[in-house]
Structure 1
């Protein structure tokens, strides 16, 4: 235990201004110091990612209509001299937390959408920016390359008791880090919290992890809705209007069982339709997206969902 806390203190000391990624984030993730999770304390082992650590790229896969997304799967790369020390480590990245990638002087935070505590592996989904220095580097990485990560960084901690009303709103590719937030509730049979998973995307083609959302939909306490303001099929009526109508037959045919989609933006009025005062529990809002999206959703949610600003978290 003492060794873990010493490592934690060392990690906190490393969260200095020199670690700033330079993105000008409204809510800097470096303001959130990591705390040991319950499972890592119970395991009695050191979290291997507390300081910058090398991870090996196991797999890369291009996704998206133009291959502008990269799915990257990493595993901890044990170094020479680790010996049995590698056995005494785990990889603990709690849901809603980030890891910081360091390449030379470049620093960028990413939120894993999957991780393995014992195997010390994790996956991230990266949207490549044409002029982004880190994007250019990640575009070139290949399996077996080594990259350095540190973490976890974040402040969101979910307590299953008492039950809550949790609204998770994601923008585009930012749906990826919201998946572990959903799973931690649904995987706990004793957690009676209710989940509303609202995903804003350009159109149906840009909705990612649909299969995962369909799996979630099997649970009684999970609801989702897709907001697709630019959905457009090839019918003459939709082409003339510039977008599909809400009752567009092609859109309905492309939706799967238990999928709900609206050809509109998620505004204050629409967000209020998801508020059910009859359902008890503290309301929590989690927003994943760019800074302007986060700011807008946080502003309208305080009234539309009656959420206390203290219970609003940004990914």
Structure 2
């Protein structure tokens, strides 16, 4: 494998300070240099995204639009005709828990795909546009057939199915998207006995994305989820007066689907501890997807309530 790395084109080995987006990412591209994965090595092909590569926007869908910005689903495909890459010689490998860097001129921003196709070289991201954000202004204007540049994959998380683990995945808002591949890689492996706790923090039920996918996950014996909705509010007089729904609000209950569990509260250390079952064996692993403040708070809660070793805490 070392000889393979040594044979990589020089342009893929060189990283410059300008390759860092400056956002303080936990998995900075300067610290986590993109490398070929075992999957790519076995395929005998090149991961097309190891250096900045052009991808064409195939589909743009607005999932939500409000005063705090838009949420967009963006679907990209490798633009082989633009990069001069032979389609038969390359693949796209973005492992679960890894992100890619988007480059527009001097602007760099990390995004974590929630779906990718190894052979077709396509991926999808969920993006919340921030008012007045430089990259958000650019993405607000992009349309299908536009070309954008990406590089990756960047990240440290690697899941080993053996031995079985207790994996706690905490997601904030749109950051639920990149946690989906993390769940799938466990559930799709019949030999993986790891347990999953998928804890999703959102403003209210309307702001919970990928509910259908979570309902599909709930069919598996080793998956549990819970929604935390501190600002859930229906139009009943009692809930309007309180400023939020009661835990047993009938309207909230009626809006929940089979096997959906929701709490009208924030996820804190005490609540996180309620998901701990000492009788279930396995190393405890925490994965947090969200902004840096959210990541830091949840890591502290987990060390306090779940006794998670800091070495087993991963930030997306």
* Structure 2 equivalent of residue 163 of structure 1: 164
Q: Once superposed, what is the RMSD of the aligned Cα atoms?
A: 2.0
8 Å Cα contact 2:53-2:149 kept in structure 1? yes
Change (3 A) 1:6 1:51: farther
1:47 is aligned to 2:47? yes
Change (3 A) 1:7 1:115: farther
The alignment partner of 2:75 has SS state of strand
Question: In 1, Cα distance between the equivalents of 2:141 and 2:166?
Answer: 42
Change (3 A) 1:115 1:23: same
Per mean C-alpha deviation after superposition, the further-off stretch among 62-71 and 226-235 is: 62-71
8 Å Cα contact 1:30-1:153 kept in structure 2? no
Change (3 A) 1:267 1:97: same
The alignment partner of 2:307 has SS state of coil
| Displacement of 1:247 | 0.3
* Structure 2 equivalent of residue 312 of structure 1: 313
Question: In 1, Cα distance between the equivalents of 2:67 and 2:253?
Answer: 21
Q: TM-score, normalised by structure 1?
A: 0.95
Number of paired residues? 314
| Displacement of 1:9 | 7.4
Per mean C-alpha deviation after superposition, the further-off stretch among 35-44 and 161-170 is: 35-44
The one-character-per-residue Cα deviations of 1:141-168 (angstroms, maximum 9, x if unpaired) are 1101111100000000000111110000
Question: In 2, Cα distance between the equivalents of 1:103 and 1:142?
Answer: 15
| Displacement of 1:47 | 0.2
The alignment partner of 2:81 has SS state of coil
| Displacement of 1:205 | 0.5
The alignment partner of 1:59 has SS state of strand
Which structure 2 residue ranges, 5 or more long, are not aligned?
none
| Displacement of 1:7 | 6.7
Change (3 A) 1:134 1:291: same
8 Å Cα contact 1:51-1:150 kept in structure 2? yes
The one-character-per-residue Cα deviations of 1:18-57 (angstroms, maximum 9, x if unpaired) are 1121223455354223343222121111000000001010
Change (3 A) 1:11 1:202: farther
